[in-house]
Every structure is written in C-alpha cells, then in structure tokens.
Structure 1
C-alpha cells in the first residue's frame, strides 16, 4: 500500500486532472487500511476546500454520485465514511454558493431519499436520520418533495435549536442551519413547521451572540426565502427581528476582518469574504421584494456603499454584488430616493460613470440607476415625500450632476444603449434625455 501512495503522490506532482485525482483517491478508499483511509479522506477534504465553482461542478457529476452509491451498496465504503465525506462536500458547496444539479438525479440522491423515509418510519437511529437529512439538504439544488420536507425541516430545526455554547454543539447547529438555508424559494413550507423555531433561534442569537457567523447567516437565509411564498412574514422579518439592522451589523463586522488591499484568489477566498458575498446575494434578492421600508434598510444602503468602495480594486465579484444590490434597491418604489442621496449612492454612481475605462456591467448598472432616479423624481409618488421636499431633492441632485459633468458622460454612452439592452435583457431608454434630472 505504501507503493500505491507513492504512485499517487507522483501522479499529483505530474499534474493529473483534479477530477481524476479525486476519483482515484475515492476508489482507493475501498481497499486500504484504516489509517490510510483516514489519510486519503483528509486529502480529499483538502482538495474540496481548494476547489472553485467550476472545479466543483467538474468533479461532482452525476457519474461521480452514481459511483459513490455503488460503492456504498457493494460495501467498499462504509455509510458512515460516505456521509462524512458527502457532508463536507455539501458544506463547502453551500458556503461557496455553488449549484450542483447532478446530485438529485443520481442514484445516490434516490438512495438517500429512500433511506430518509425508511429511517423516519423506523425511528430507531436519530443520529443517522439527522446525518442523512443534512447530506440531502446540503447537496440537493432542486425542489424537494413535500414528503421529505415534512421530515427534514423538523429534524434539522431540532438540531439547530440546541442552546449549548460548546464548540461541538456550535458546529452541529451550523451544519443544520446551513442545510436548511439551501431550501430555495420554490420549496413551499408551511409556517407551522418552522416559524416558532427559526424566530427563537434568531432572537436567541441577537440576545446571546453564540452562533457562528455562518450559522446566523444561514438562519436568516432560510427565513427570508420563506417570504417569497408568504408575504405576511414581512413584519416579523423587518420590524420584530430587524433584518436591516442585523445584516448591516454582520457586514460591518465581517468587513473589518478583510484585508481589502490584498487580491482575492480563485477558490481560496477568506471565509469572511465568502460570507459577505452571501449576504450581498441575499440582499439583492430581497430589495425588490420587500414591501415595507424602514430606517434600518437605509443604514444597510450605507454599508453597501462602504463595501463597494473597499472592494473596488481587488475584489471584483464582491464589487459587482454591491452594484447589483444598489441598482435593485432603486427599483423599489418604497425605498425613499433621498436615502440614495444621503448614503452616497448617487456620488458613487457618478464617480463610476466618469471613469475612463468602464466595463459593460458597470455601465449598464449606472445607466439603469440614473434612469430610475430621473423617472422617480419626475413623477410624484404617493407616500414617498411631499411636493416641496421632492423639488428640493430634485434641485440638489440636478446641481450635483451638472457640477460633475454628468450630461456629457451620459451623452457619450448614447451609442451603446441598444447594445446594453440586447446584452442584459433589460430595457434601457434609447432617449438619453430620460437619464437626466431636469428642474
């Protein structure tokens, strides 16, 4: 066996493709000693940690999951070892926000669905049921059958509700909440299955701050995705649990831990950056959908501006997510326009549009932002502000744009409006006067 390990090391040094490396290690688990098995699994975990999204999807194909299922069936790998490895795959997949549609259609996905139902009926091994539920929820990126939701959601919420502060329990809670956060908005879950428990988890964290950053983000993600099927949750989300305030706090804490002057690298981003990107993705989903506005969301806008400026040069993906969130915020008619002025969003977009070199994404977002600002200031909107304040704000933005030479900048983009329409499938006006704020 020592010779086999040496050959394996030689293959890796020779540049064997990642997919082949992983497959080779996995196959060798079925015929090696326990100490070597442990060593190989640790090596596989390290490989998984280093993978970026494209590598993940290249390695964890339907074929790969089918092979795992066959090895479990033939007892070439124990169910316990398979679960340990799969849970790590799912954990990294979710943390890095990677989609793996291959699992659900595989024989392994089918095997796990059957095992969950079977174990739930037996009610003999609660730990195994929990492990199976976590694996399945972490790996499945398609709509989960109602029969499974009725088993998985209560099972994972029971683990996630543990209050002990020790490291082992924290990790259990983190994995359970991360698994729950993968339930997408088309997964309809009756509020009786989750509302009391998830509300208590978030409230307990706000009082005691004993969840990990990943766990807290996951709890919120699970909850806000439920909003898309149940708009009555908005008051709990916005006013009772203070979504805007809490996300702003998390973003500011995480941002302090990032060296924004240091370039990010492939699949090796700092965990804090991954979490920031996760929050930004969630915010981008939420802004056009939330039907209520409050001052806490205004504060959150300010945090997005700060992160945009910090990430501008070395973290392009984070930077784009900020831009997307700010652009989507202006779409929201009950997000007050003066918020964008007070929090520096107008300044930010003016600065970006004046750059000598602009890519298409930034150009489109900037044009879309000012198109909406102009449109909203031209028409009185019920409930937003009285006419006097609207005119004052209109004059202030007009004077700022005039001083910054905004009209010349926009006129320079006139020839690309139609191109950007076709590229991004969003309707930009072909009349460049629509992008100006006129008194």
Structure 2
C-alpha cells in the first residue's frame, strides 16, 4: 500500500513539472483510449490548457504534425468528429482573440479532410447535414486567412445563416458568436454584396431591437461589416446612417467601460476578460475609421465622449487603454473636418488637461497637503482658459490647424508621466 502511494506521489510530481505543451501532448495521446464522454471531459481540460498558453508555446504546439495527428485519430475512429470540433473551435476562438495564426493547419491533412467534407456536404441534393456543414466552415475559416472566390461563396452564406439564429439561449448565443468570429477572418477579401449585406444588416438591426447577441458577437458583426466598407465605400450610408455605427460604438464602449473592474490588482489581471477583449477590438476598429475619414456625422461626438470616459476609468491601472485613447485623440485632432466643439462637448480636451496636470506617483508622495492640490487644480483651469481665449481670438479653423501639434505635445507629456511611474517600487 505504501509503495502504491509513493507511485502516486511520483506521478503527481511528474505532472506538476510538465510544461503546458507536454500536458497538451499527453492529453491528445490519451484521447484515443477514452470513450466518447471521457473524451469530452479530456478536451475540456485541453481547452483550459490552451487558454493558459503564451504565444511561443502556443506556436510550438499547434503545428502541421499536431493537425495531422488529429486527422489520423478522426480517420481511425479514435476521436469522434463532434469532439474534434469541440476542441478545434475553441482553438480557433483563442487564435482569433490572441491575434495569432496556426499556419500548420494550412498544410495539414486535416485541412484537406475538411475541404473534402465541405464539398461533399454541399453537393448533396438530399438529407444535407446543416449542423455538420456549419461546424466544418467555422473550423476551416477560423484557421485560414486565404480563401479563393469559390470558397468565399460557400463559407460566407453558411456562416451568416448560422449567425442569424435569434434564440437567446446560452448555447445558441455561443454558436452565433463563433459563426461571426469565423466570418471576421474573411476581412482581407472582396465579397460581393449579395452574399452578405442583407443578412448582416438584419443581424445588427435585430440585436439593436432585441439584444440577443453577446457583446463580443455584436462587436464581431460590426467588425465584419466595417472591413467590407474598406473594400466597398458604397456601404458608407448603410454603416453611418442606416445602422448608426457611431451611436452604437459609443454605447457599447460606455457599457463595457462600466462593466470592467478597473481597480483589480495586477496579479488579478493576468488574463483579459471578455469585456476587455471587446474594448480592445472596438478601439482598433475606431482607429481604422478615424484614419480613413469615413464616419463623420452628427453622432460622432458620442464616440469622443465614450473614449474620454474609458480614458479616465483605465488610466491608473491599464496603461494599454490609456495609450490607445491618446492615439485616438491624436487622430481626431488630425481630422480637418472635426469640429472643436465636438472635442469640447465630448470631454477630450478636459481628459487630456486632467492627465497633464495630474501628479505622478512621486508627486503624490510629496503633495499630500490640500493647499498644493488646489494649486494644481488652479493651474489646470488656467491652461483651459488659455485654450478658450485662443479659440475666440483665432477662430476654430486656426485651432484645428494647430491641434495636431497640441496633441503631439500632450502625448509626449503623458508618455513621460508613465515612464516616471513605471520603475517605482510598489
């Protein structure tokens, strides 16, 4: 009995010393020896390992050889195809959110298997398995970034149909989220409007009325449509005036900002929440739109306000978002068509001035007296008054001309403050 316990202890010690890559490889090898239910539990554990992987380990695991191994196990009946989808779709989900690629899939026998299965299913005249086709298209599109015109014509309608489901159960919401995520991987390709425009409009409009999508799914729907806009500017009226992108983006950012626990300690923030991931992707999308000057209308000031709200909420503990907000402020300043009153109304100028005048961590240790705090506030007010006086003297057009230089200066000051606090011991 004692020997048995020692053997168990040794196994536990060995297990603890294994890397995530070794854990994953061992679990993959064990799949073929499990029944269907045990396989699903094992895959759940494998998905948790995937979540923990850093980029380099991630790349070292998901190679051509790994995908070939998975293909062989499916071929030999060692792994049920439904269980394989369960693992592969989670992998595709993580690849998308982490902005990585599993290039090994492109050259693997699993890629060829899925292509053949998709074609075979599409060619059936009777008893088509729609669920199987959706699963295949989701996995295939999640791992690919290059598609022929023929594959686009198959994948896009299939995924849009899956994303159009309106039930509000968690299972359906997760399926819809995955379908929209896979659609986003077609962003580099010109797609004929008849393949998608009515369907994606209906998905967005229905959510605006009934709120049936998750926040990430709604963001993916917009991301898919906005990426089409860069290839087809005739969609601008649909995006700006019919679907009200500016209004929706502002509302989503404000809601997400309020849902994040900004005061969490650094060790509690090792893994990004879904809300933080959604914020990141909204900011990336807004950055592109500012750059290409496509979405200026009367709802635009709401976006400025939402960015200022995010900046104030995140600046103490989430410098990543602070950088992004400052970058967007700078891009807005470059806009020749942007009205200064929009920047004022949206709170961009106040947010920048607050940050420039805000004490650094070193300053806070020295400036604890109320009197000095009041002096700092008075300085901020003086700077703000000077800006208003300059506006009155020179007119809005001159201010717009000089705004880029102003925000460039603010950016330098903000980055300097961040560097001052970076190396201070906690």
Tell me, yes or no, if the aligned pair for 2:216 and 2:274 is still in contact at 8 Å: no
Residue 211 (structure 2) aligns with = 209
1:227 corresponds to which of 205, 226, 229: 229
Against the structure 1 CA distance between its residues 12 and 65, is the aligned structure 2 distance closer, same or farther, given a 3 Å change threshold? farther
1:135 corresponds to which of 103, 115, 139: 139
2:45 corresponds to which of 43, 46, 60: 43
Residue 352 of structure 1, CA deviation:
5.2
Residue 375 (structure 2) aligns with = none
Tell me, yes or no, if the aligned pair for 1:96 and 1:274 is still in contact at 8 Å: no
Counterparts of 1:239 and 1:274 in 2: how far apart (Å)?
27
Counterparts of 2:55 and 2:165 in 1: how far apart (Å)?
32
Counterparts of 1:97 and 1:312 in 2: how far apart (Å)?
24
Q: Please state whether the residue corresponding to 1:104 is helix, strand or coil.
A: helix
Counterparts of 2:327 and 2:77 in 1: how far apart (Å)?
48
1:309-337 CA distance string (max 9 Å, x none): 21112223333332333333334433334
Aligned residues: 375
Residue 340 of structure 1, CA deviation:
3.0
Counterparts of 1:289 and 1:217 in 2: how far apart (Å)?
19
2:291 corresponds to which of 288, 291, 307: 288
Root-mean-square deviation (Å): 3.5
**Greater Cα shift, 195-204 or 64-73:** 64-73
Residue 268 of structure 1, CA deviation:
1.7
2:78 is equivalent to residue 108 of structure 1: no
Counterparts of 2:66 and 2:293 in 1: how far apart (Å)?
40
**1:50-199 aligned within 5 A:** 50-122=52-124, 124-140=128-144, 142-184=145-187, 186-199=188-201
Q: Please state whether the residue corresponding to 1:14 is helix, strand or coil.
A: helix
Counterparts of 1:291 and 1:20 in 2: how far apart (Å)?
48
Residue 295 of structure 1, CA deviation:
2.5
What's the TM-score once normalised by structure 1's chain length? 0.75
What's the TM-score once normalised by structure 2's chain length? 0.77
2:255 corresponds to which of 230, 243, 253: 253
Unaligned runs of 5+ in 2: 362-390, 417-426
**1:289-328 aligned within 5 A:** 289-328=292-331
Residue 136 of structure 1, CA deviation:
1.2
Tell me, yes or no, if the aligned pair for 1:29 and 1:37 is still in contact at 8 Å: yes
- The answer to which structure has the higher helix fraction is 2
Q: Please state whether the residue corresponding to 2:106 is helix, strand or coil.
A: coil
1:19-52 CA distance string (max 9 Å, x none): 1211111111012344432331121122223334
Unaligned runs of 5+ in 1: 359-387, 414-439
Counterparts of 1:295 and 1:356 in 2: how far apart (Å)?
35
Against the structure 1 CA distance between its residues 296 and 29, is the aligned structure 2 distance closer, same or farther, given a 3 Å change threshold? same
**Greater Cα shift, 40-49 or 314-323:** 314-323
Residue 348 of structure 1, CA deviation:
4.0
Residue 348 (structure 2) aligns with = 345
Counterparts of 1:9 and 1:152 in 2: how far apart (Å)?
46
Residue 254 of structure 1, CA deviation:
1.3
